[in-house]
Structure 1
Amino acid sequence: MTKAVKNKILYQLNFLKSIGYDYHNNIDLGNNEIIDSSLPNNINELKDIVQNCYLCDLCKTRKNVLFGQGNSDASIMFILDEPSTSEDDIGEFYVGKSGEILKNMIQNVLNLDINDIFITNIVKCRGHESFTTAHANSCSLYLSKQIEIINPMLIVTFGEKAYKYLSNDKSNFEQIRGNILPYKYYNILPTFSPSILLRNPSLKKQAYYDMLKIKSIMEIN
């Protein structure tokens, strides 16, 4: 039995236990560090596990799992909060109006193809309501492993929720937005989410300058 198969079984047992199933003997699922160490270092194997995840109740409402998309050797990693309804319907990133804004940022400002970067979400599935911390916690080991595998030079978070959950930084978002900040072994730049830019077009100028800063960082390196 491969590690990937064992991991799927472990997650399924954990899910069944969480909804009330009982066993003759308690199952020791270990701590997060042990579970994290059992996750594969191959991006495709990790994707297979995440697409068959039932750790939280979002598995009941999702249409698709939005694991991530793009270059697994990318220098830039984009992290948003959760899939949009359109992304959940189609199972792809960069769809819908917010997806078009993000695609335009990459192509017209960064002068990159969307496959030159790697994009993912804090939460991999779509629910009827905005994601909760519990949902984010269920996906946290997946995200950590994605970051470890991609090993990006720069992480760009889109929106206050994505930045604050990932960094655990309680600073005023307006004050730190657009700045290069340390995050573990990486650099992180928080900027506005595409959905906010749709609702507040006046913020597009600031987002544009954030993209220019990202572009200059990539050119230097």
Structure 2
Amino acid sequence: MSRSAVFLDEMGVGPLWRLRQGAVPEAVDVVVAPVEVDVAVAAPVAETAEAVIEVAAELVAAVVVEAAAEVQAEAPVAVAATPVPAAASDDTAWFDDAPPPPPARQLSDTDIAALDWEGLTAAVAKCARCDLCKTRKGVVMGRGDRQGDWLILASSPSRLEEREGRALPGEQGKLLDNMLKAIEVDAGSDVYVTHLLKCRPFDEAGQERLPTEAESAACRPYFDRELALLQPRTIVTLGSMAAAGINPGEKPVRGTVRQLGNASVVATFHPEQLLQDETGKAKARAWADLCLAKSTHGD
């Protein structure tokens, strides 16, 4: 038996059990049995006992330090977590190289002639039958009673109408309503308002201009279909361009009644002209036109 073991056995300290490789260390309680020394022992014996105690204390301290070092050496080393790279976003580069979707198929005149109201509205919204589709900010479809006996017809939308997406909005619309009310026509239940062209023609300066023959011809099937679906009794044209455009090649004359199919056609001033009339002469003539239209229409 080694000297250290003899000292530990004399002190009542049990054998030191070492941890196996990889085992979780538990708290090691080192119990040192108290050594009773008889004060009556001779001095040489007392000195020997004190020396034994000092050596035992040194051995216990050395064993504890060694055990702690072994535990620390065997403890798993914390490994810094390697940041997981974020999932790469889907590569959409292919989208830039994808061919554009094919343009919407443009309807023929025969196709347009077979549309109902909903189909007609959808066809006008995506129309590309002329170059106005490249510059327009929006289309302006007709509004009002689709079973009305009265059709109010202007030539083409203005900037305001294009922005509002509505035929004759604002002050123009209010004046038109008052004009119809004056001849006892309910603008809210018996009147449909539309244009010959559904897009605004304008020049490079952004000012309204007359539509070209190609633009008028391209848009005419839409108006013809509106007319066939509505089947009005009386048509009131607003302004000289609408009066001339409704029957191409025919010179309109104010104060007369023309025919377009089964409908009577009467020409008058556009509300915008009446709003700018400071003399009142245009308003007086417009009143005469409305009275003519009312008498032609009947009750």
Structure 1 pair 196–119 and aligned structure 2 pair: CA distance change class (3 A): same
> How far 1:169 moved relative to its partner?
4.4
C-alpha separation between the residues in 2 aligned to 1:194 and 1:133? 25
For the residue of structure 1 that corresponds to 2:266, the secondary structure is strand
C-alpha separation between the residues in 1 aligned to 2:225 and 2:157? 19
- 1:210 maps to what in 2? 289
TM-score (norm 2): 0.57
Structure 1 pair 64–143 and aligned structure 2 pair: CA distance change class (3 A): same
C-alpha separation between the residues in 2 aligned to 1:115 and 1:83? 23
Structure 1 pair 141–111 and aligned structure 2 pair: CA distance change class (3 A): closer
> How far 1:151 moved relative to its partner?
0.8
Pick the structure with greater CA Rg: 2
Work out whether 1:190 is the aligned partner of 2:190: no
> One-letter code of the match for 1:135?
E
- The answer to which structure has the higher helix fraction is 1
C-alpha separation between the residues in 2 aligned to 1:58 and 1:100? 29
Work out whether 1:38 is the aligned partner of 2:134: no
Stretch of structure 1 that moved more, 68-77 or 191-200? 191-200
Conserved in 1, the CA contact under 8 Å of 2:141 and 2:167? no
Conserved in 1, the CA contact under 8 Å of 2:264 and 2:296? no
C-alpha separation between the residues in 2 aligned to 1:121 and 1:109? 22
Structure 1 pair 185–113 and aligned structure 2 pair: CA distance change class (3 A): closer
C-alpha separation between the residues in 1 aligned to 2:185 and 2:196? 25
- Following superposition of structure 1 onto structure 2, how do residues 138-149 of structure 1 map, counting pairs within 5 Å? 138-149=218-229
- 1:150 maps to what in 2? 230
Stretch of structure 1 that moved more, 91-100 or 138-147? 91-100
Work out whether 1:100 is the aligned partner of 2:179: no
Moved over 6 A (4+): none
Conserved in 2, the CA contact under 8 Å of 1:79 and 1:122? yes
> How far 1:170 moved relative to its partner?
4.0
Q: Deviations over 1:136-189 (max 9, x none)?
A: 111011111111111111111111111212112443x4xx21321122332211
TM-score (norm 1): 0.76
Q: With a CA cutoff of 8 Å and minimum separation of 6, indicate the structure with the bigger relative contact order.
A: 1
- 1:32 maps to what in 2? none
- Of residues 163, 187, 191, the one that matches 1:117 is 191
- 1:88 maps to what in 2? 162
C-alpha separation between the residues in 1 aligned to 2:185 and 2:264? 21
Conserved in 1, the CA contact under 8 Å of 2:156 and 2:201? no
Conserved in 2, the CA contact under 8 Å of 1:110 and 1:214? no
> How far 1:115 moved relative to its partner?
4.2
List runs of 5+ in structure 1 lacking aligned partners. 1-7, 12-34
- Following superposition of structure 1 onto structure 2, how do residues 26-65 of structure 1 map, counting pairs within 5 Å? 35-39=108-112, 40-65=114-139
Identity %: 28
Conserved in 1, the CA contact under 8 Å of 2:106 and 2:127? no
Alignment RMSD, CA only?
2.0
> One-letter code of the match for 1:36?
D
> How far 1:76 moved relative to its partner?
1.0
For the residue of structure 1 that corresponds to 2:282, the secondary structure is helix
Conserved in 1, the CA contact under 8 Å of 2:266 and 2:292? no
Alignment coverage as a number of residue pairs: 187
Conserved in 2, the CA contact under 8 Å of 1:83 and 1:125? yes
